[in-house]
Amino acid sequence: MNKFEENINAAWKKYQSEKKDELYPNIMLLGISGAGKSSLINSVFKRNLADVSNVKPETQGFDNIYYGQKYGLSVNLIDTAGYEMNQGDTYGNTVNETLKNGVRNEKIHIIWYCISIANERIEDMDIKILKDISNNAQIRNRVCVVFTKCDLDSENGEKATILQKIIQDKVRYDLPCFETCNDSSLELDIQKLIKWSAYQIDDKDLREKFIASQMHDLEAKNDRQMKQ
């Protein structure tokens, strides 16, 4: 082990003992335009942060981050532009690129793949993207399906059950599914979803984040020295 690695390891041990569990998962929301991704972000944070529309594609880009620390919540949510029909491969390519490069220097830890139960069907694109990300070793065990608009389901959640069965048959049997809606009087699975997400973060993530911040500090220090 060289001096640099020794220093990093010593600093990592110190960091672990002081700041354990401080890493909030970065969660990217995906799904068709109008699925209710931005509405779900507002429901999780209990505030109107993200713009919502019932008439047109609303969210632009893939880099709208809402940091939980600002709002007393232990998750960071990344809102994205939903796909539109006939978009071809561009959506899948953007998803893959974002998973590879992260967003604003943040790694993506988790995906909430949103599917509205109001549509009563699952689009081919949903199946394709879910399959793709289920084959991506970096993220495969950290993907879940979030059924949105479940206030429009029957009391025993029949529509969600039918859609879940399709996902199990066509994508993967063990993909976790959660039910949500934007009506705060119906709690459904939002708290469960947050807990599940926090539970996915492990020591490897903490170490990765720590090394990245050390490298960032080092680069800043080198920059300062170059300027002197």
Distance separating alpha carbons of residues 157 and 71, to the nearest angstrom: 31
Among 8, 25, 26, 38, binds ligand GTP (CB under 6 A): 38
Nearer to ligand GTP, 8 or 180 (CB): 180
Is residue 142 a contact partner of residue 120, using CB atoms and an 8 Å limit? no
Q: Which residues bind Mg ion (CB under 5 A)?
A: 37-38, 58-59
Nearer to Mg ion, 38 or 180 (CB): 38
Buried b (16+ CB within 10 A) or exposed e, 199-209: eebeeebbeeb
Nearer to ligand GTP, 112 or 210 (CB): 112
**Closest to 58 (Cα-Cα) out of 34, 77, 78, 41:** 34
**Is residue 90 within the footprint of ligand GTP (CB under 6 A)?**
no
Which residues are CB-neighbours of 204 under 8 A, at least 6 positions away?
Answer: none
Give the chain's length: 228
Residue with tokens 């978009």: 87
Distance separating alpha carbons of residues 4 and 91, to the nearest angstrom: 41
**Is residue 49 within the footprint of ligand GTP (CB under 6 A)?**
no
Range in contact with ligand GTP (rule: CB under 6 A) among 66-74, 104-112, 144-152, 204-212: 144-152
**Is residue 151 within the footprint of ligand GTP (CB under 6 A)?**
yes
Smallest separation (angstroms) from Mg ion to the CB of 188? 20
54-89-84 Cα angle (round to 5): 10
Size of the site for ligand GTP (CB under 6 A): 21
**Closest to 197 (Cα-Cα) out of 133, 148, 139:** 139
Among 16, 33, 94, 214, binds ligand GTP (CB under 6 A): 33
Among 27, 36, 201, 206, binds ligand GTP (CB under 6 A): 36
**Is residue 30 within the footprint of ligand GTP (CB under 6 A)?**
no
Smallest separation (angstroms) from ligand GTP to the CB of 144? 16
* Site residues for ligand GTP per CB under 6 A: 33-39, 52-54, 57-59, 81-82, 148-149, 151-152, 181-182
